[in-house]
Structure 1
Amino acid sequence: MPRMITEGIVLKDKVILDGIKQEAETLLHAGPERWDEATIKLKRYFLTDVLDDFIGTSNRSEAIFIAGTLAELAAEFVLRTNNRWIGSSKWIHRSLVEFDVDYAGAFTEAFDLFYTTNDKSKVIHIVEGILEPHGGRLFAGFSLGKGS
């Protein structure tokens, strides 16, 4: 919403709109609320789970849908752990480009390679690279609903 407000064109000028646009710009530049360690751990777990499903399936139809989920979760993880806004649909790509144009290209290329040739290697590499600075894949010792 803040992006839509800052990029929108005012059709009927009212004094109040300048303040709203300024507030939206401030929100955009500040970035989203930072994820705490518990959230990062939870997101690592789910990203690891989907990555393992992707690696483990030999069913092309399943892999296509798993890859879609993996792309969304991986983009969310890399953007949010770098204090960046996320989006959905076309805004995922736009948010990745805004974060790092070269990284967005490599991310897109990895998934395009999978979709066109069934080669999973670059997707796996991208996702493992996203997880690595935060401790890598997470399964061992992880549980929900129990005290640590």
Structure 2
Amino acid sequence: MNHPSHPRPRIGSDQTAADIRAAGRLVSARYPEATGAVLGGSAARGQSTASSDLDITVLLPDHGRRRREVLRHDDRLAEVFLNSRSDLRAAFAESRTTRRATALFLFADSIVLHDADGHVEALRQEAEALLAAGPDPLTRAERDAQRALLTDLVDDLAATSSHGDPHEQLAVADRVLREAAHLLTAHRRRWNGAGKWLPRRLKAADPDIGQNLLDGHLALARHADPTPLTTSVMRVLNLTGGPLREGYVDR
């Protein structure tokens, strides 16, 4: 299982250099006890602007208190995740079971700001290895539960039409897309996402069916037609064992 490569940031670009300086000043001023720190998010991908916030993970001594802080420093908004090594390893392990790898991506796809003891680089390598391995496979019980839920949702979706309540239809369609993405990415043993990362992770997991799901959701939003999305969801269900109605037992 390969973790899709991400282009390394253009360290020499003016904006990336400014982001690194701003993040470094913030860490030095606010967290003098830090043993390491990395800059992630759009800055690490070379996609930030002067108004982008800074995503910083700070490595604390082993007795440090895990927390998340949102603050402004030198007129730059920053989201700071503070963790000890054991905290980070616990978050990494949790990513395997939740199949959401926010902590892994933030740490693996990052720029090192500070690494006093070499722990940051070791953790980065661990995160990269876990990303490449992919999330844990679905158990049979997890797969069947997800199939049953998605079958129920797609039945609700198929029952809607342009003559029904458009708010209800959109609400059901949103849930259908999320659950179909969860089942498809889990089946492919690829990482799931939320918000803007849902379509990105979905297309990375399965470019064909993932794009069909997204196009079907868009068609419903534009034309109140559930058929394309329903058809795409049935492809996901058939790939994972088929719709599950009669005979399902939730153990």
Structure 2 length-normalised TM: 0.55
- Counterpart in the other structure of 1:2: 104
Deviation at 1:133, TM superposition (A): 2.3
Cross-structure match for 1:18: 121
User: Per the alignment, do residues 133 and 102 of structure 1 end up closer, same or farther by CA in structure 2, a change over 3 Å counting?
Assistant: closer
Residues 29-40 of structure 1 mapped to structure 2, 5 A cutoff: 29-40=132-143
Q: Distance in 2 between matches of 1:54 and 1:95?
A: 23
2:187 is aligned, of 78, 81, 84, to 81
* Equivalent position to 1:67, from 155, 173, 178: 173
Per the TM alignment, residue 101 of structure 1 is displaced from its structure 2 partner at its CA by 3.3
- Secondary structure (helix, strand or coil) at the match of 2:114 reads coil
Shift of 1:45: 0.3
Instruction: Identify unmatched segments of 5+ residues in structure 1.
Output: none
1:28 equivalent among 124, 131, 145: 131
Which has the higher relative contact order, 1 or 2, with Cα contacts under 8 A spaced 6 or more apart? Answer: 1
Determine if contact 2:146/2:183 at 8 Å carries over to the other structure: yes
Partner of 1:91: 197
1:112 equivalent in structure 2: 218
Cα deviations across residues 91-124 of structure 1 (Å, max 9, x unaligned)? 1111112223344332211110110001111101
| Aligned match for 2:155, one of 28, 49, 52 | 52
Contact 2:192 2:201 (C-alpha < 8 Å) held by counterparts? yes
Residue 13 (structure 1) shift: 3.4
Q: Percent of aligned pairs with the same residue?
A: 28
CA RMSD of aligned residues (A): 1.4
Match of residue 126 from structure 1? 232
Residue 105 of structure 2 aligns to which amino acid in structure 1?
A: R
Shift of 1:85: 1.1
Q: Does residue 135 of structure 1 match 2:238?
A: no
Pick the structure with greater CA Rg.
2
